[in-house]
Structure 1
Amino acid sequence: MSRSIAVIGAGPSGFYAVDGLVRALPDARIDIIDRLPCPYGLVRYGVAPDHQGTKAVQRQFERLLAKPIVRFIGNVEVGRDVAIADLAALYDALIIATGCSRDRRLGIPGEDLAGVVGSGAFVGWYNGHPDFAELDPLRPDMHTVAVIGAGNVAIDVARVLAKTADEMVKSDIAPHAAAAIAGLDLTEISLVARRGPADANFTGNELAEMSRLAAFQATVQSEVLDGVTAPDSDPAPERMRKAKNLELLRSFAAADTPRRLRFQFWGMPVALHGVDGKVRELELADTRHPERRWRQPADLVVTCIGYDPSPPVGLLLERGHIAHDDGRVRDLPGAYVVGWAKRGPTGVIPTNRADSLALVKVVVDDLAAPPASEKAGPGGLDALLSARGVRIVDSAAWRRIETAENAAGQAEGRPRVKLGTWRLLEQAAHGEP
């Protein structure tokens, strides 16, 4: 008897799990369910638009979608179109790979002022995510930006804002975002980190890119770096990464330039101040000496401080992730969790591969026991969605979206031009004018 498995979430964790399942259970029936009409999750909507090399992993995922035992079921939202209990009843195993999509809040006064936006929303906006098509986060009177965070997401946000239109010409940035950014006259972008330079989580390649910007000069105050070294207590690879970062930071000029991208350490946000409902200043305290406070101009504030999960209704959260024991979801037999939904928003795309393959071993071991009864599987889901009038986007419909985007990109010399609204995606998926 072939086993049926549903994977909720078509991002990297979900696809890496499917890869492991295809190898371990070649006669299984596997459905990948996603609320979006497009697969690939953060690879499509989270990776920076000027980092096309990082998106190359899509080709591996495309090969999985071509497998006869794998189906993509897009435009199906668990909790709206189908309950998680329904899926648990239909499939022999259920793998939840829904990630973390809600921006964490700073929890300080002024956070709801216009011009304050979380990185998840902001990155989704410039990457053409349909949920953020109407976000409109920029205003022509914005000149100063504060990007709060010390990781690669913060670096990505700052770089995309700093790059010229010519520097982004080979990217797949959403056209509306490209036009809005090009219309700004920015003079300063500050990357604000609560801790010191040795604690920053930037990777060396991302940091090095900041020295090659055409319009902005990367700067850091030299005294912040005086005497700072990578801790000897860190494991060797981490120590080497931090040492390289410190070397790069020391190479950045401390000069006052017309347009600067400033790395600012030991700054803890304590308040945001506005005029007429719009943010104008960021108030910071010295993390080491909290009594020392100051304000600096900030017409746009992008928070890059992490994400929280939005799990399917009925699942318990624990310490920022879905509650589980070795990947087995508590209180829902036959359900498993993987990726950010399992461990929180840590690690880069390849990190998820090892996590997903480890989870697959748990699933396969559990499925070795004979089933109590045969479950309806994919056929049961098809019948349920049809009865409820849900218009799915399958692999063929997704390929129509992809073909339209690639053709538009080819006409402009870009990798693709994403269809950035729900309506445009639906029209392309179903061949509608």
Structure 2
Amino acid sequence: MRQFAVIGSGPAGFYTAEALSKTYGDGARVDILDRLPVPYGLIRFGVAPDHQSIKAVAKRYEKVALEPSVRFLGNVHLGADVSVEELLHYFDAVVLATGAPNDRRLGIPGDDLPGVIGSAAFVGWYNGHPDFADLRPPLDVEGAAVIGNGNVALDVARILAKTNDEFSGSDIVDHALRTLTGSSVRTITVLGRRGPHQIAMTPKELGELGHLQAAAPLVDPIDLPPPEADGMLEPGQRKSVAHLRHFAATPPDKAKPKRIAFDFFAKPLVIEGDGRAERVIVERTALAADGNARGTGETYVVEAGLVVSCIGYASPPMPGVPYDEKLGRFPNEGGRIAERLYAVGWARRGPTGTIGTNRPDGQEVAERIAALFPPAGAPSGREGSAGLDRLLASRGSDPVRFADWQKIEAAEVAAARAGAPREKLVRVEELLRARRH
């Protein structure tokens, strides 16, 4: 019997567990560990609450978790409850699937002012992540700035712009819905250093902005390249730019009180304010021959009492594991970090790709592990789950099993407001309490 441990229960973790389970069948046991009492990682805490169709992939992960060869162990803290070194002692191979949950700092003066929030924190707040349940984003302001030109920036802008009715059918948490309902934000400025041809926004997410009940998207036609230049773009990118062209050509609906203003060629220099964020000093940029943005020296002010930075994420370092500070991930070769230690997903690649990108990642690492430990080979004699259980018990750890999660999920579904799929519990103690009923 082979014994494997996967650290992290998001998409990368479950795709890896699925691949290992299919490769070894009954000849292996896979333990999926997570520090939170609930599974699914990015699906639960990162995907926008109004994108329920994307969250449906959790049903696939549920099937994996219910395989006899797979165990979910939530509420297990790496470092406090068990170390990577100890896992390598008990298991044949350990796979890091921890994602990239930490925000990258803007790195400009004023980025530590109250009112400046990273997207991981802001998204975690409206998605019910226990780490951000007490976040108090300042929505008593008229202007908000969203820094970044990717889908996360679009999610943040859309959530800020939606009406209460537009959250029907979503699983946005109650504390965020109540706060957003009372929001004073009227202008959301999306700042990007480069231009429309360099955005990382997908057509579906951009297109949604054209159908908001109370907000109109604005694009300055002067920022758009000549239409014939769109021919050089990939089809998906061309569709995204077509949305921007449509926004630029459509007069704003005066009946809609909110605006989502795309400000391209805009480099934030400083965030200013008297004890809190009040404005962003922005420098106008131009594209150089190498495609990078260069400052022109022209500056202007964007009024913003809320600044949400959507410029990327980093994986947290782990004791005893090599770490690349610059790239914010674990250095690896084809997913291999060191002997019997691997990385998948954002922990391996950095925060790039879609949810589905993690599937071939997990498959590749499973194949590398199978080459090292052939499914028909002799067992190593490592204790695996039994040794881990004994260690966790000796340290007073209280793991949450998948059957416990199913009780938590049932409690959340039962507590849902009308039309919503669930009302997430947002405190660890609440989650642990719910599994006992």
Q: TM-score range by the shorter chain?
A: over 0.9
The 2-side partners of 1:139 and 1:349 are apart by 30
The 2-side partners of 1:178 and 1:292 are apart by 39
Q: Does 1:379 align with 2:363?
A: no
Q: Does 1:240 align with 2:238?
A: no
Q: Is the 8 A contact 1:283 1:293 kept in 2?
A: yes
The 1-side partners of 2:423 and 2:63 are apart by 22
SS of residue in 2 equivalent to 1:95 = strand
Residue 320 of structure 1 deviates from its aligned partner by: 2.6
Aligned to 2:328: 320
Aligned to 2:194: 195
Aligned to 1:174: 173
Aligned residues: CA RMSD:
1.6
Distance 1:230 1:101, change over 3 A: farther
SS of residue in 1 equivalent to 2:56 = helix
Distance 1:59 1:230, change over 3 A: farther
Distance 1:299 1:86, change over 3 A: same
Q: How does 1:22-41 map to 2 (within 5 A)?
A: 22-27=21-26, 28-41=28-41
Q: Does 1:367 align with 2:373?
A: yes
The 1-side partners of 2:427 and 2:361 are apart by 32
Residue 138 of structure 1 deviates from its aligned partner by: 2.5
Aligned to 2:9: 10
SS of residue in 2 equivalent to 1:405 = helix
Distance 1:29 1:230, change over 3 A: farther
SS of residue in 2 equivalent to 1:72 = strand
Q: How does 1:250-289 map to 2 (within 5 A)?
A: 250-252=245-247, 253=250, 255=252, 257=254, 258-275=257-274, 277-288=275-286, 289=295
Q: How does 1:150-229 map to 2 (within 5 A)?
A: 150-227=149-226
Count of residues in Structure 1 that have an aligned counterpart in Structure 2: 421
Q: Is the 8 A contact 1:194 1:265 kept in 2?
A: yes
Residue 290 of structure 1 deviates from its aligned partner by: 2.9
Aligned to 1:400: 407
The 2-side partners of 1:106 and 1:287 are apart by 17
Deviations 1:6-45 (A, max 9, x none): 0000000000011111111102111000001000000000
Q: Does 1:122 align with 2:122?
A: yes
Q: Is the 8 A contact 2:128 2:424 kept in 1?
A: yes
Aligned to 1:307: 313
The 1-side partners of 2:310 and 2:228 are apart by 25
Q: Is the 8 A contact 1:193 1:266 kept in 2?
A: yes
Q: Is the 8 A contact 1:198 1:229 kept in 2?
A: no
Q: Is the 8 A contact 1:273 1:279 kept in 2?
A: yes
SS of residue in 2 equivalent to 1:321 = coil
Deviations 1:288-327 (A, max 9, x none): 2430111110010000000011132221112331011221
The aligned amino acid for 2:6 is V
SS of residue in 2 equivalent to 1:350 = helix
Aligned to 1:69: 69
Deviations 1:272-294 (A, max 9, x none): 0012x111101111122430111
The 1-side partners of 2:374 and 2:65 are apart by 25
| Bigger mean CA deviation after superposition, 154-163 or 245-254 | 245-254
Deviations 1:337-375 (A, max 9, x none): 110000100011011111111111111111129568410
Aligned to 1:341: 347
Q: Is the 8 A contact 2:2 2:380 kept in 1?
A: no
Aligned to 2:424: 418
| Bigger mean CA deviation after superposition, 28-37 or 356-365 | 356-365
Aligned to 2:289: none
TM-score (norm 1): 0.94
The 1-side partners of 2:246 and 2:231 are apart by 22
Residue 259 of structure 1 deviates from its aligned partner by: 1.9
| Bigger mean CA deviation after superposition, 14-23 or 223-232 | 223-232
The aligned amino acid for 1:311 is P
| Bigger mean CA deviation after superposition, 394-403 or 247-256 | 247-256
Aligned to 2:93: 93
Residue 106 of structure 1 deviates from its aligned partner by: 0.8
SS of residue in 2 equivalent to 1:117 = strand
Q: Which runs of 5+ in 1 are unaligned?
A: none
Deviations 1:60-103 (A, max 9, x none): 00111111111100000111111110000000111110011110
Residue 225 of structure 1 deviates from its aligned partner by: 1.1
The 1-side partners of 2:337 and 2:230 are apart by 37
SS of residue in 1 equivalent to 2:101 = strand
TM-score (norm 2): 0.93
Q: Which runs of 5+ in 2 are unaligned?
A: 287-294
Q: Is the 8 A contact 1:230 1:243 kept in 2?
A: no
The 2-side partners of 1:45 and 1:30 are apart by 24
Q: Does 1:329 align with 2:327?
A: no
The 2-side partners of 1:327 and 1:207 are apart by 33
The 1-side partners of 2:425 and 2:281 are apart by 38
Residue 422 of structure 1 deviates from its aligned partner by: 1.2
Deviations 1:206-257 (A, max 9, x none): 00000000001111111111415556665xxxx2122111211111135485
Distance 1:17 1:249, change over 3 A: same
Distance 1:263 1:108, change over 3 A: same
Q: Does 1:388 align with 2:383?
A: no
The 2-side partners of 1:100 and 1:230 are apart by 35
Q: Is the 8 A contact 1:138 1:180 kept in 2?
A: no
| Bigger mean CA deviation after superposition, 389-398 or 253-262 | 253-262
The 2-side partners of 1:426 and 1:375 are apart by 31
Distance 1:359 1:373, change over 3 A: closer
The 2-side partners of 1:26 and 1:300 are apart by 51
The aligned amino acid for 1:417 is E
SS of residue in 1 equivalent to 2:25 = coil
Identity %: 44
Q: Is the 8 A contact 2:216 2:253 kept in 1?
A: no
The 2-side partners of 1:33 and 1:56 are apart by 22
Residue 412 of structure 1 deviates from its aligned partner by: 2.4
